[in-house]
Amino acid sequence: MKIALVIHTFDDFTGGKEIVTWNLANGLLKKGVHLDIVCAKYKPVNHPNINFHKVKMTGKALGINLWTFAKNALRKVKTLNADLVYTNGKAGFGDIVRIGGLPRKAHLKNTSNAITSPFKKAIYSIKKKINLSDCVSNRLEKKSLSNPSLKRVITCSDYVKKQISRIYKDVEEEKIKTVYNGFNRSPYSPEKASLNRFEIRKRFNLEKDDTVYLFAGHSFKRKGMDRLMKFVRLHPEIKLLIAGRGRKRSLAGAADRRVKWAGEVKNIDPFYDACDVLILPSISDGFGIVVTEALWRGRYVMVSENAGASEIIKDDEVGMKFSYESFPGNTPLPDYGILHSPSAVEKRRALAGSFSWEKMTGEYFNIFMDVLQAKG
């Protein structure tokens, strides 16, 4: 099987889409699949079954970089004679299209709903309607999901699947398949976790008995950082540790002594070990790999219902899902006694253990085979 895989950046660190694609590609290579990676930037991989095809992605200052990439990628794909073409949502073509985040229309609606000021809401709406980059993104998404060669749409949560079905009514529901993301399942031992907890807390002047909430991620605005700061102010008994990159100057409460800024970190596992709760108050999130990562470390998770990962939380000992609209005022704190209960920790780790890159790749591979057989 020869697959043309189209993505802006092919690496294992830029973001969720890139990490998923990187692990998918490595899993497919192990199954003997030949890959043609069509991208603007890439991290080299030394394997006989992979070829890279770099295409230009220009015009970012004008807001047309997504369009130039799509045009150049399509031109390149037509020369490759691939059995299947797999793209990541904003290419405008493909036999199989992955939509990792919410459809653009749903994302904009969630973001607008999160703005409490009517004036700011109106300004936001106007900006999005006249922003060329947003218009191009929306156009390419529509083109991807309406192109005649489309055989399957892959989402990373049922939440995203429902939004696609609601917005793109011409896409048959049987074409849309949910495949949950895997995650990097690092070795875990209670002894090492205890050491990590001590070292991270010492580094950030956190006491042994402090109740520490962890926010892990980038794109602070989309992940609900504004309301998270209000949540901290409402609860003086907790402290917040933030690991990720984003703008913090405009955030009310950013200078609060109970808020600790770690910046972008290479190894997030010690931070999971150091916290008591992972909190993800996203405005718009297709899934949120940090949730399964934290569960693997035995941590209690609090997740906004606007994040796809909230749908895997079905046990009060595992975590809590909450309405973003009612956050933070009507969102309770979890019972402290459950946070480190041995039985609860095992439940969380068992749930996380049901997700893996191998399982994800296997489900993708089966979809690819089904489409290939249907094509004859």
Residue that has been written with the tokens 């073509």 in this structure: 93
CATH superfamily of 190-352: Glycogen Phosphorylase B; (3.40.50.2000)
Q: What is the pLDDT of residues 331-341, one digit of tens each?
A: 999 999 999 99
Q: What is the DSSP string of 293-330?
A: HHHHTT-EEEEETTBGGGGG---TTTEEEE-GGGTTTT
Pairing of strands 238-243, 277-280: unpaired
Residues 160-166: what's their mean pLDDT? 95
Contacts for 167 with CB less than 8 Å, ≥ 6 apart? 103, 105, 106
Asked if pLDDT for residue 255 goes beyond 80, the answer is no
As a whole-number percent, the residues of the chain with pLDDT over 90 amount to 78
As a whole-number percent, the residues of the chain with pLDDT over 70 amount to 98
Asked if pLDDT for residue 248 goes beyond 80, the answer is no
Which of 160, 16, 60 shows the shortest CA–CA distance to 102?
160
Asked if pLDDT for residue 347 goes beyond 60, the answer is yes
| CATH 3.40.50.2000 residue ranges for the chain | 2-103+136-182+357-375, 190-352
- Residue 253's pLDDT band (boundaries 50, 70, 90)? low
Which option is the CATH number for 2-103+136-182+357-375: 3.40.50.2000, 3.65.10.10, 3.30.950.10, 3.30.70.260? 3.40.50.2000
How many Å apart are CA 317 and CA 330, to the nearest integer?
20
Structure tokens belonging to residue 296: 């693997």
pTM beyond cutoff 0.85: yes
Contacts for 179 with CB less than 8 Å, ≥ 6 apart? 154, 155, 156, 360, 363, 364, 367
CA 167: distance to chain centroid? 20
3-class DSSP state for residue 207? coil
Answer yes or no: are the C-beta atoms of 299 and 338 closer than 8 Å: no
The pLDDT, as a whole number, for residue 315 is 94
